[in-house]
A = this chain, B = another copy of it.
Amino acid sequence: MSRIVMKFGGTSVADLARIRYSARHIKREVDAGHQIAVVVSAMAGTTNQLIEWCNEASSLHDAREYDAVVSTGEQVSAGLLAIILQDMGISARSFSGWQVPIKTSNVHGAARIEGIESSLVDARLNEHQVCVVTGFQGVSENNRITTLGRGGSDTSAVALAAAVKADRCDIYTDVDGVYTTDPRIAPKARRLSRISFEEMLEMASLGAKVLQTRSVELAMAKGVRLVVRSSFADPDAPQIASDGSNFGVPGTLVCDEDEILEKQIVSGVTLVKAEAKITLRSVKDRPGVAAAVFGALADEQIIVDMIVQNVSDDGRQTDITFTVPDGEFDKAMAAITLDEERFEYDSIAGAKGSAKISVIGVGMRSHAGVAASMFKALSEEGINIQLITTSEIKTSVLIDERYAELAVRALHTYYGLDRDEE
């Protein structure tokens, strides 16, 4: 017997038919004798409607009232799921965030979970009652409903799994796992049976969009094993992973690096398109200049992605290049050119239309030459590299957007990630 938290996102509870289908996944686990807590999102579309109403009511709405309104979506889906489970003969009840309670900070609209008093849920789980908990929300110390911000349901699920000491947390979504790259770009993309938390973090923040970054960070910190799997899969199919891995389900296990025996040097290739690059030339090389530049951008709420600054050859001036989304390019240029004196550069140049390609893998730590081989693979395709940044388990390059898909496919093949032809 295991204790499992199962999380179902908006598309998995989009309507009653989908909720019923998701309930069959729950029934399978209950029938196997497991103790089950479920975390649900709102029915797809509901949250957007509620947000729209709040915005229509006032463009500057009180975040506390926004939370009261928007949190109702999960209350509805949790109640309906509990009813459907009961209809299948499964003991179940719903819990709103405040009923658990899931205690959060009082930063409404973007609250952080501070603690979960799990004794009530714990007792119900021990009685083998399915506890259906509303995701995305909690309650502040002032007894007001809070929401965690977009994608917060994944975080709710991980936090609940940590609180009730679940053996794993299954994230049911509309894809059946984490892929080596986007299958729409590289048809030979393969589902990973395992991926480390660190790699998943790089994947999530680089555009894989399967799991919310915060939830992966929390899972890593609390040691909660995550499984990304599809709620659209046949709930009654035999639950044996094709790779024979021990968690026994088709999907991707996100876990500690130590659980991954054969580490790939590269686990995945990611792509972010529509990046604009801006270069400041001959910037005075002295403390405070970079802070001034990026402070000005932060003041405009512009999120900067890559930043590269080289060591200056004469110790007096240097070049700084950074990237922003294409849509923010004009705003970023304006922020930097408005008050040129302050930033002390000679000239500024920039252009839209680049793409960032990254290769990710914990194996890089122990394998030299990954970056070099990446550049080689790209040069073989005649692709010029504009910018390079690296982290411990990731190497990213900026290239002309026109070659983005070609680069992803080339690297995917080069690092041996292609699916075997059957």
Kindly list chain B residues whose C-beta atoms are within 8 Å of the C-beta of A61. 83, 86-87
CA distance A71 to B93 in the complex (A): 16
* A65 part of interface (Cβ distance < 8 Å): yes
A76-88 interface mask toward B, CB cutoff 8 Å, 1 = contact, 0 = none?
1011101110110
- Interface SS of chain A: helix, strand, loop or mixed? helix
Is there an interface contact between A57 and B94, defined as CB atoms closer than 8 Å? no
Kindly list chain B residues whose C-beta atoms are within 8 Å of the C-beta of A84. 57-58
Binds B, one of A48-56, A339-347, A359-367: A48-56
Is there an interface contact between A96 and B68, defined as CB atoms closer than 8 Å? yes
A35-71 interface mask toward B, CB cutoff 8 Å, 1 = contact, 0 = none?
0000000000000001001101110111011101101
Q: How far apart are A208's CB and chain B's nearest CB, in angstroms?
A: 33
Known contacts being A62-B86, A143-B99, A144-B99, is A68 close to B79, with CB within 8 Å?
Answer: yes
Of B54, B57, B78, which one neighbours A68 at CB under 8 angstroms?
A: B78
Kindly list chain B residues whose C-beta atoms are within 8 Å of the C-beta of A399. none
Is there an interface contact between B69 and A79, defined as CB atoms closer than 8 Å? yes
Of B58, B68, B71, B94, which one neighbours A87 at CB under 8 angstroms?
A: B58
Apart from A62-B93, A65-B86, A69-B83, 4 more pairs, CB < 8 Å: A16-B57, A53-B76, A57-B83, A71-B75
Q: In this complex, what residue of B is CB-closest to A54?
A: B83
Kindly list chain B residues whose C-beta atoms are within 8 Å of the C-beta of A143. 99
CA distance A98 to B83 in the complex (A): 22
CA distance A143 to B80 in the complex (A): 19
Is there an interface contact between A94 and B80, defined as CB atoms closer than 8 Å? no
* A72 part of interface (Cβ distance < 8 Å): yes
CA distance A76 to B50 in the complex (A): 8
Of B62, B80, B99, which one neighbours A69 at CB under 8 angstroms?
A: B80
